[in-house]
Structure 1
Amino acid sequence: MSDKLARYRSKRDAQRTPEPVPGSPPPSSDGNAFVIQEHHARSLHWDLRLERDGVLVSWAVPKGLPADPGTNHLAVHTEDHPMEYLTFHGEIPQGEYGGGSMTVWDTGTYETEKWSDREVKFVLRGRRASGRFVLFQTRGKNWMIHRMDAPARDPFPPLDPMLPAERAKPPRDASAYAFEFAWGGRRLLVPVEGGRTSAAREHPWLRELAESFGSRTAMLDGELVTLGGAEILVFYDLLYDDGHALTGEPYSVRRAALEALGLDGGHWQTAPSWPGEADAVRRAARDQGLPGVVAKRLDSVYEGGRSKSWLFIPS
């Protein structure tokens, strides 16, 4: 019987990596387990592994599973892995093959609809990943993965930022608003999908932020400002989170979801917000030389373009 794990063993030294390195060929089995691991190696990717004949047949998927049938994702066919990898997680030392952090993103069972050397059709039944998929070979070890069904997932909102109307004085019903600094910077919407963002083309340092989201899909609204001589991206709204559009939710709900993300890095942070504190925030903006404050109705939905639900009040 051929040793399906020979290539796997040839790439690893059991004395140098915590990964399982079995010493003998695996027995044949008819199991139907799968695992998806989030792998922060040289570049973020997800490892999809399907149990087949006693091993885990594996593909590295740089952008994760496609969320809908309209997009195919690259899937690189890698060496078979041992069954122990169903539960493996940990830190593979840098310098070793696949060095980096690995966590179990999802696990469960799958149903095979077709399995050939060039095409694999299957149904995943996991906690986070479910649905019908097909893997098909394009060239050599490069395959593509296609989603065959349509999950319940909201489309991304349009890239049209909400803008405040100008007003000379704060609104009388201050308790109905949250007050934030008007930074006087450049507006930036940041879509995050598959651990990547198109905004990193112009701002490469955003790659680290996108990777921190893992497989979580999001759309962040913020502003590029200069603080203490450094360029900082301050975020003040969340328009999309993990498959759900938030644009129809009240600002208070979106703000709570944004704060729950805990965005605080070397180049980005969550902008402060003070409900009902019109006068104090306006004085602070004036003291710091900022152009003014923005009053945002706590019950306002997110609507592209200029809106009277957001008010710019000069300092």
Structure 2
Amino acid sequence: MTTNLREASTAFAARFSKGLTDSDDQLYTQLATVIPSSAASTGYGFLGQIPKIREWVGDRIIHKLADFEYEIKNKLFESTVSVSRTEFEDNDYGKYGILFEDFGREANAFPNDYVFELLANGASRPCFDGQSFFDTDHPIGMSGGEVVSASNYYTPVDPQTKQTPWFLLDTSRVIKPLIWQERVAPQIQKPNADEDSKVFLQDEYLYGIRARGNAGYGFWQLAAMSDLELNADNFNTVYEGMTSLKGDNGSPLRIQPKVLVVPPSLRQKAHEIIKRQYLESGESNINYEIVDVMIAPYL
């Protein structure tokens, strides 16, 4: 019996690892930088500015990393299944291998839920500057102490006319628009002995996944949200707005949108704007493959 439990647990762990490494359902890594964490929470005050390189004339201009009080607190995640003790007694536990492999796939992909949830709710969740991640008046400091407002949220004047939201992101930077903070990567926990209280009381062994981490916002300048109708004109407005953004002291940020993220309901409209080489008039489509299209079922 003990031998069966030990061999099964080893086999289950192997199938879990296979599912963990074979799964390709990590959409979140295309939008979020994975950053290791070594504490209960990690601060990201440095997101206050993107330093620029300038010609060295006179003394250096020192860019002090802004001390914004923005941190991501790690959460604890779990998922647990039970296997009856009789399955090990009867040597009938092999059928569970496929379950544990799928367990691994789920562990590999679960950050998608949290990263895309942040994206979808960015118009009401704060980022490092205290404004909502998607907002119409992010403060930008200019030379001489002047502060101007910049927008990465494109919304109709009349809230009643809002459409299904869509998103345009620059994912080319080392720090992407979103962050997945990983404190403890998903691990499988196995039973150790027949004396476990769960085995004694309910005659079953528990196997579980444990992980720690959380999602958060990176640079708001690298993302835009629109709840205007998804059409070529509105796409162009958002694209041009992002590429025109300036940073502190008025220098261009060189934003280059790379991916249009839409829910499945906007798939056709997104493809009509980005994937058609020619318009219905026969003219060339200036937006043909200008960005990638991501159909995100998590939205």
Q: Which has the higher strand share?
A: 1
TM-score between both structures, scaled by the size of structure 1? 0.25
Q: Which has the higher helix share?
A: 2
TM-score between both structures, scaled by the size of structure 2? 0.26
| Structure with bigger RCO (C-alpha 8 Å, 6+ apart) | 2
